[in-house]
């Protein structure tokens, strides 16, 4: 039962990601391109020194959280496998036959 529910949830999650990933990537690329153009024409000056400090402090927290997620995923391996299979099935591109 856990495997079937994980498979269904993974499929629905993969299907939703397939729908929204193109929109997200497109907006991200346009935003970065706009920021680069504004910086090139000296309209906006982007200083990342404060973000670099935050990143260095945050990376240790992220490593700890990733270790916890890994341990949790390993303890739920059968349902995680079903969820991953369902996500793959939902995310893959459908071929339209004429």
Using DSSP, state whether 47 is helix, strand or coil.
Answer: coil
Distance CA 83, CA 13 (A): 9
Q: By the 8 A CB rule, do 73 and 80 touch?
A: yes
The answer on pLDDT for 42 being more than 60 is: yes
Buried b / exposed e over 25-54, threshold 16 CB at 10 Å, is eeeeeeeeeeeeeeeeeeeeeeeeeeeeee
Share of the chain above pLDDT 90, in %: 8
Global pTM value: 0.42
pLDDT digits 0-9 by tens, 2-18: 567 777 777 788 878 87
What mean pLDDT is predicted for residues 13-29?
Answer: 84
pLDDT digits 0-9 by tens, 55-86: 777 888 888 888 888 887 677 666 666 777 77
């Amino acid at each position: 039962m856990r495997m079937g529910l994980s498979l269904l949830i993974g499929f629905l999650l993969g299907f939703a990601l397939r729908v929204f990933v193109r929109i997200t990537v497109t907006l991200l690329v346009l935003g970065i391109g706009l920021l680069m153009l504004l910086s090139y024409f000296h309209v906006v000056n982007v200083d990342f020194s404060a973000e670099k400090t935050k990143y260095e402090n945050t990376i240790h927290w992220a490593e700890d959280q990733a270790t916890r997620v890994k341990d949790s995923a390993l303890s739920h391996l059968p349902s995680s496998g079903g969820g991953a299979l369902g996500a793959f099935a939902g995310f893959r591109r459908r071929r339209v036959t004429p």
